[in-house]
Amino acid sequence: MEMGTIIAGILTLAILSFLYRDNPIYKMAEYLLIGVSIGYVLVITWTNTLMSLLFVPLFAGSDLWLIIPLILGLLMWARFHKNIASLSRIPIGFMIGSGAGVAIPAMLYGRTLRQLSASVTPLVDSSGVPNISGIVVIAGLLTTLSYFYFSREHKGHFGRLAKVGTFFLMVFFGTTFGYTVMSRMSTFIGRMEFLLTDFLRLAN
Amino acid sequence: MGRKFPLAVCFLFGVVMFIQYFSQSTAARNLNQTILDYWQIVFAFTLIVGVFSFFKNNVTHISRGADRPYRVVGLIGFCSMPILALIWGIKADTPFMWMFENVQAPMQSTVFALLAFFVASASFRGFRARSLPAAVLLISALLMLLSRSNIGGYFSSGLPEVANWVRDYPSMAARRAILIGIGLGSLTTSLRVIIGIERTWLGGEK
């Protein structure tokens, strides 16, 4: 058996031991996972971002404009010195500002207008038959939106509308929950398959 | 300087990134790409600050003796990845990728798999059809669970179609309403940040 399979099998069992209760073996594996994951992210960030976008073009390609993000990045380290800690707000301001600027049109288009246009479908088809699914979508959208409208008290007709919205929300939460459980379950089946076939060799 | 200059930087880049969206000129596209590249670089530095903080915090705890064996294992795992990458590189079939495939990936997917049990046990305790909305939640969850497993076929062959309809229409309607809410919320928050009304990102100190 390959060394990699043995290590992966032991670590999988170490994590699964949490099903019994919190124990030192699980904790050891948990800390190892955190350490290795952070090390992995560090290496990938260094290689894919800092080397390819900053250091190679700056020092080998002589793109001197890249001194700007380099200085901004270095200012982040000012956080560790109390006297100059406020300087780290400058790169944060750059990131927050440019992120917000990008987010406005993206959110307006992707999250709002596209969702609205996808919901507006013909409610009666060409032969005069009502489009039940389309009616359900429009009703669900309007009632759920009215549930999230808090500038008016949920009373009277508006309150009843919002109440219908909660049913649509419950359907959404239920389906999302079902999908989440099933996706986790399929991951678990994958791990069990690995343990039984590759590691313990109890099944083909 | 302490607060005004970062606010000015935030305003300037927010306005520039917002305006460039409405231009198709090459100069605007290039500016957009340049700022996005700079953003990635600054983000990478931010990440390294976080990694340094993790390292410092662990070393401090080890010297104090709190959770020493676990933290040592964590630091060994953390240090091993850059060392392996430095010596053998990060291409396929290198020790770095071996660590990723045989240490990180199996543990990560097992942690995700563990959540299946906790979600299931939480739902067993929490899912009580005490009211009509709670019953609707329970029924739609059961419908999804049954339709996506083999056992659903024993009850009715039409179960998957019903589940697909529920997912594609009533559930989708609520999802769209939530997405519209998120979109409008993000939009207003972004505007508040750019204009300088929302200043929590500056922190509490002067």
In this prediction, residue B48 carries a pLDDT of 95
In this prediction, residue B8 carries a pLDDT of 96
| Nearest CA among B105, B79, B83 for reference residue B94 | B83
Task: Enumerate the residues of chain A whose CB falls inside 8 A of the CB of residue B201.
Answer: 92-93, 96
Full DSSP string of B152-196: HHHH-TTHHHHHHHHHHTHHHHHHHHHHHHHHHHHHHHHHHHHHT
In this prediction, residue B101 carries a pLDDT of 96
pLDDT in tens, B113-170: 998 888 878 877 777 778 899 899 999 999 998 988 878 777 788 888 899 999 999 9
| A66 class by beta-carbon count within 10 Å (0-12 exposed, 13-18 middle, 19+ buried) | buried
Confidence of residue B205 (pLDDT cuts 50, 70, 90): low
In this prediction, residue B51 carries a pLDDT of 95
Residue A138 and residue B143: Cβ atoms within 8 Å?
A: no
Count contacts between A and B (CB, < 8 Å).
Answer: 398
Spans in chain A with pLDDT lower than 70: 204
Q: Residue written as tokens 């179609």?
A: B161
Phi/psi of residue B124, each to 5°?
A: -60, -40
**Which of A6, A16, A25, A40 would you mutate first to test chain B, the one with the most B CBs within 10 A?**
A40
User: Is there a contact between B173 and A139 (Cβ–Cβ < 8 Å)?
Assistant: yes
Residue B42 and residue A45: Cβ atoms within 8 Å?
A: no
For residue A124, list its beta bridge partners.
A130
Residue B182 and residue A111: Cβ atoms within 8 Å?
A: yes
**Which of B3, B24, B41, B198 would you mutate first to test chain A, the one with the most A CBs within 10 A?**
B41
In this prediction, residue B1 carries a pLDDT of 63
Radius of gyration of the CA atoms of chain A, in A = 27
Looking at the complex, does the CB of residue B54 fall below 8 Å from at least one CB of chain A? yes
pLDDT in tens, B72-89: 999 999 999 999 999 999
This complex has an ipTM of 0.88
Task: Enumerate the residues of chain B whose CB falls inside 8 A of the CB of residue A27.
Answer: 67, 70
In this prediction, residue B206 carries a pLDDT of 57
Q: How many CB atoms lie within 10 A of CB B113?
A: 22
In this prediction, residue A121 carries a pLDDT of 87
> Which residue ranges make up each domain of chain A?
131-204
Q: CA A168, CA A154: separation in Å to the nearest integer?
A: 17
B186-205 as b/e: b if 16+ CB within 10 A: bbebbbebbebebeebbeee
Q: CA A164, CA A2: separation in Å to the nearest integer?
A: 58
pLDDT in tens, B37-83: 999 999 999 999 999 999 999 999 999 987 899 999 999 999 999 99
In this prediction, residue A1 carries a pLDDT of 76
Q: CA A30, CA A35: separation in Å to the nearest integer?
A: 9
Determine the distance from the C-alpha atom of residue A142 to the mean position of all C-alpha atoms in its chain, rounded to a whole number. Answer: 27
